[in-house]
Structure 1
Amino acid sequence: MKFGNFFSDNSDLKIDDDGDFPTPTSDESPPIFSPWNQTYPFLKSPCFSEFQNGFVLHRNNINDNNKNNNSLIGSLVREEGHVYSLATAGELLYTGSDSKNIRVWKNLKEFTGFKSSSGLVKAIIISGEKIFTGHQDGKIRVWKGAPKNPSGSHRRAGTLPAMRDVLRSSMNPQNYFVVGRNRSLLWFKHADAVSCLCLSEDKTLLYSSSWDKTLKVWRISDSKCLESLTVHDDAVNAVVATSDGLVITGSADGTAKVWRRQHEEENDATKHILDQTLLKQDSAVTAVAVNAAGTVVYCGSSDGLVNFWEREKRLTYGGALKGHNLAVLCLAAAGNSIVLSGGADKTICVWRRDGPFHTCVSVLTGHTGPVKCLAVEEDRRCPDKQGSRRWIAYSGSLDRSVKVWGVSDGVGG
C-alpha cells in the first residue's frame, strides 16, 4: 500500500515506513486504520465546531493572518529525512527524523546533533539535562546534554530499560511474555515502535506508548520500569499526562481512555487504573493534547476531527472541531485558550477557546507535506502590544522541513 501525492518530490512511501499508520508485516505489528484514502465532502468550511445539538458556524478570520498576529517566522531545512518529532528546551529546539539523527537548533540555526544506531526518531521528550528519544525499533534511548559546553555536545547515557535490569530479569521465565509465534520478550521491553513519550507533572515519571498496545511507566531517577499496561486493542498512538495524575491515551482502535495514577506508599509503587473511556469510534485516534490547566482534553482523529472534553468533576464531551479535510496527525496546546492541530492536508489550524466555543482564528499554510508534529513555547522576548500572550510554534513535516510561527491568543485584541 503506497501513496505519493502528499510529498513535494512525489516520492512513493509505504505507509508503514513513514511511521504514521503501520501496515501489519508480522504477528507483532498491529493493524491500523489508514486515513489516507478517505474523503470528507461535508467539510465545506475549514472553521466550524460541532456540538451535541448541531453545527455552530464561527466567525472566519483565516484569510487575514496578520490581523490575528499569526505568521511565519522562518523555516529550518536540512535535506536528510522527514521530520517526525519535536521538543523545545529553552532556546534549543530538538528535531527527530527518519535519518535517525536528532538535530539541535538554536536561534533558527543548526547548533549541533547526535545520531542513534537504528530506528527513526518518533518521539522526543526533555527532562533537565536528559533527552529521551522513542524509536521505530521499539527502543527508548537516553542522552545527556552538556549545557556548559559551547559546542552543545550530547552523549549517549543509556537505554530504557537499563541493561542491569535486563540482565537481572532475563534468567526468570516469568518475566517474559509472548509477542509472536516464535518470539518472547521481557515484559518491560516494547515489542513495536515507540509512538509517543510524555512526563508526569512532577517530572519523576516517563510514560511511553507503543504500537504494541501497551503503556509503560518509567521512574526517571533509576530508569526502572514500574508498570506495563495493555491499554488498547490496537496500536497506541498518543499519550499525555495532566497536572493531577491523569494519563490520557489514544489508539488506532478508535478509543481514547483516561487512566488515574495511584501511589502505593507501602512499597513505593505506582499503579494506574482505568478511570474513563472518552471516545469509541471507527476512526483511529492519532493525537492527544491537554490545555495548561488540565481542564480541556483534545483528541485528533484520522477522520479529520478534533474532539474535545471539558472537565469539572469528570470530563464531559464538548464537541468536535472541523478544520481539516484529511487526518489530524498532531496537536499542541498553548496555555489555556489556544490549541493547534496539524494535518495530513499540510495545514495547521489555530483554534482559540472562549468559554464553551472554539474559533478557528488562522489556518497556517506553507508546508508541502503532511504536518507530523508540533511544539509550542511562550514567547517571552516579544510581548504582544495589545496585551495578548505570544507563542512560538514549531511544526515538523514530511516535506523534510520545520517551520517556525508566531501565534497570538488574541485575548487582548
Structure 2
Amino acid sequence: MMHSDPNLSATAAAIPRDEVFGYRNSSASLTGPASFDPNRMSCEGSPMTMSPWNQTGGGSNFPWSFEENLPQNGLIGSLVREEGHIYSLAATKDLLYTGSDSKNIRVWKNLKEFSGFKSSSGLVKAIIIAGEKIFTGHQDGKIRVWKVIPKNPTIHKRSGTLPTLKEILKSSIRPSAYVQVRNRSALWIKHCDAISCLTLSEDKTLLYSASWDRTFKVWRISDSRCLESINAHDDAVNSVVASLEGLVFTGSADGTVKVWKREQQGKTTKHSPVQTLLKQESAVTSLAVNTSGSVVYCGSSDGMVNYWECEKQLSHGGVLKGHKLAVLCLAAAGNLVFSGSADKTICVWRRDGKLHACISVLTGHTGPVKCLAVEVDHEKSKDGDQRWVVYSGSLDKSVKVWSVAEMAPDLYQMAMMQQQQQYQQHIGSDADSLQSDESSRAGNTKDKRQLEKSWQGRLDSVELPASAG
C-alpha cells in the first residue's frame, strides 16, 4: 500500500475565485492545534511515495487511460442542458434533481429529462430530499419547499418557504427576535447571505442549513419552524453535515472544522460546541460522513482531504492527497469516498481498515466538479461486490453518470498488471528479433538480461495517485 506525495500543494494563485466556484475562501491566519498534524499520512512508514501530480507541467505523463483500463469504473452517460452551471444534486430511487444558476430545477429519470420546475430566484446552491418534500437552498438566503403532485409525479408545486411568512410576521413584532448582522438589524430566523449547504439529521426530523452569513440554522421539518440559529464561525460556513448520536460538523472559510452536539432541553433543541477538529489557512469547502458515522472527511481549497476516525473520540486519521486544485465536493458510500475537484476530476478512494487507496480517477468533465450524489446500483450489485451509481455535476453545464465497483483493483495494482503485460510483450518481441539475427545469437542471453533489468527498473518507478492518511 502506498500514499501520495507529501510535497504536493496547491498555490494560492491556482485556487479559483469565489464568484466562479461558489464557495467563500479563507481570510483566516494560519493556526494549528496540537491535535492536528498536516504532515501525517496513512501508511506513514511506507517506502513507496507515488503521485502522477508531482509534475511541473500541465498534465499527467501516464501512458494509459484510467477509464479504458478500469472497466469496473466507467462512464454510463451524460446529462446536458445548456442553461447554466450545475451547483447542486440530489438523488432518490430512480430520480435525479439538478440545480443550476438558472431559475430551473431539473428532474431526470433513466438518463432522460423527466420534469422540471422554476424558482423565483437564481442560483440553486443546495438540494435535499426528505420524504415527500424537496428542499432547495438559494443564493438569496431562502429555503424553498416543494411537493410532488401525487396524481401527476411530473408536476412539482412549491408548498412554502423557510422561514415561513407566518414566522416572519410573528417574530418581527418582538425586539428580542432581532440580531446585529453586518451593521444592520435582522431577524435571527432568516439567513442574511447565500445558503451554501443543506443536510438532514439522522432521524430525518431536522433540517440544517449553512450560510455565508457565518451561521447554521436548525429547522423542524414537521412544522417548518426555525428552532435555533448558531453563530458558528468567523467567516462563511461552506458545509454542514449531521452524523449519529446528535453530532453535527461544520466547515468554514475561516479554515476550521467544528463539532457540535445536539441535546434536547425540555421542549427546546440546543446545539453546543464540542471540539474544533481543524485550524488551517486554506478554506474548508466540503464535508462528508460515512454511513456508519465512523469517519468524517473534510475537503479544502488546497486540494487536500483530511479525515478523522470516530471511535471513542475523534482522532485525526490522515490526509488523502490526489487533487491539483480545490476539493469542491465530497460524498461517502459504503467503504468508498468520492472527492470532486476544481481540477475537473473525481478521485474514488476505498477505505480498508485505517488505510485508504485510490481505486480510480474519473475524468471527462471539462469544468470544475461542483457536486456529487451517490446511489446503490441494485441491478449490478452482487454478493461481495457492491456497485454504485455516481452523479457528478460540473461548471461545464453537464451531469455525468458513472458506474463504480467497490471491489475494483486500486490504481497501483492495475498499473503493475499493465506494466507486467508490457514487460512480457517487449521481452518476447525483442527476444524474437534477436533470435532472427543469426549473427547476434551468441549475445542473446546478455541482451535479454539487459532488457529484463531495464523493464524491472520501469516497474519499480511506477507513479500513481494513491492512498493516504
Letter in 2 for 1:388: D
| Paired position in structure 2 for 1:237 | 238
Letter in 1 for 2:110: N
Q: How far is the alpha carbon of 1:147 from its aligned partner?
A: 4.3
Alignment of 1:18-167 (within 5 A): 18=20, 20-22=22-24, 32=26, 50-51=41-42, 53=44, 57=48, 63-65=65-67, 66-67=69-70, 69-150=72-153, 152-167=154-169
Alignment of 1:169-318 (within 5 A): 169-181=171-183, 183-264=184-265, 266=266, 268-318=267-317
Q: How far is the alpha carbon of 1:185 from its aligned partner?
A: 1.1
Partners of 2:407 and 2:339 lie apart in 1 by: 17
Q: How far is the alpha carbon of 1:383 from its aligned partner?
A: 1.8
Using the size of structure 2 for normalisation, the TM-score is: 0.76
Q: How far is the alpha carbon of 1:64 from its aligned partner?
A: 4.1
Moved more, 59-68 or 351-360: 59-68
Letter in 2 for 1:407: V
**Closer/same/farther in 2, CA of residues 201 and 81 from structure 1, 3 Å limit:** same
Partners of 1:354 and 1:63 lie apart in 2 by: 25
State the Cα deviation string for residues 28-60 of structure 1 (Å, max 9, x = none): xxx7459xxxxxxxxxxxxx9924956774888
| Paired position in structure 2 for 1:403 | 400
SS of the residue corresponding to residue 362 of structure 1 reads: strand
**Closer/same/farther in 2, CA of residues 118 and 15 from structure 1, 3 Å limit:** farther
Partners of 1:15 and 1:328 lie apart in 2 by: 13
Letter in 2 for 1:103: R
Moved over 2 A (4+): 14-19, 31-34, 48-68
Q: Answer whether contact 1:104 1:110 (CA < 8 A) is retained.
A: yes
State the Cα deviation string for residues 131-171 of structure 1 (Å, max 9, x = none): 00000111111111124415x10001110011111111111
Larger Rg belongs to: 2
Q: How far is the alpha carbon of 1:192 from its aligned partner?
A: 0.4
State the Cα deviation string for residues 57-77 of structure 1 (Å, max 9, x = none): 488899544546110000000
Partners of 2:194 and 2:95 lie apart in 1 by: 26
Partners of 2:23 and 2:384 lie apart in 1 by: 42
Q: How far is the alpha carbon of 1:276 from its aligned partner?
A: 1.4
Q: Answer whether contact 1:68 1:408 (CA < 8 A) is retained.
A: no
Q: Answer whether contact 1:211 1:237 (CA < 8 A) is retained.
A: yes
Q: How far is the alpha carbon of 1:174 from its aligned partner?
A: 1.6
Q: How far is the alpha carbon of 1:17 from its aligned partner?
A: 3.6
Q: How far is the alpha carbon of 1:100 from its aligned partner?
A: 2.2
Q: Answer whether contact 1:49 1:58 (CA < 8 A) is retained.
A: no
Unaligned ranges ≥5, structure 1: 7-13, 23-30, 35-47
State the Cα deviation string for residues 225-282 of structure 1 (Å, max 9, x = none): 0000011111000011112211111000000011111012x2x211111111110100
| Paired position in structure 2 for 1:381 | 379
The alignment-based identity, stated in percent, is 65
Letter in 1 for 2:276: T
SS of the residue corresponding to residue 244 of structure 1 reads: helix
State the Cα deviation string for residues 195-221 of structure 1 (Å, max 9, x = none): 000000111000000000001000000
**Closer/same/farther in 2, CA of residues 396 and 210 from structure 1, 3 Å limit:** same
**Closer/same/farther in 2, CA of residues 55 and 304 from structure 1, 3 Å limit:** farther
Partners of 2:351 and 2:44 lie apart in 1 by: 19
Q: Answer whether contact 1:50 1:56 (CA < 8 A) is retained.
A: no
Letter in 1 for 2:209: S
Greater strand proportion: 1
Q: Answer whether contact 2:309 2:317 (CA < 8 A) is retained.
A: yes
SS of the residue corresponding to residue 143 of structure 1 reads: strand
**CA RMSD of superposed structures (Å):** 2.6
State the Cα deviation string for residues 174-195 of structure 1 (Å, max 9, x = none): 21112233x3210010010000
Partners of 2:47 and 2:358 lie apart in 1 by: 12
| Paired position in structure 1 for 2:344 | 346
Q: How far is the alpha carbon of 1:398 from its aligned partner?
A: 0.2
Partners of 1:52 and 1:253 lie apart in 2 by: 30
Q: Answer whether contact 2:70 2:360 (CA < 8 A) is retained.
A: no
Letter in 2 for 1:83: I
Partners of 1:325 and 1:291 lie apart in 2 by: 24
Letter in 1 for 2:194: A
Partners of 1:387 and 1:167 lie apart in 2 by: 55
Aligned partner of 1:357 among 355, 358, 363? 355
Q: Answer whether contact 2:23 2:238 (CA < 8 A) is retained.
A: no
**Closer/same/farther in 2, CA of residues 58 and 411 from structure 1, 3 Å limit:** farther
State the Cα deviation string for residues 319-363 of structure 1 (Å, max 9, x = none): 00001010000000012x100000000000000011111000100
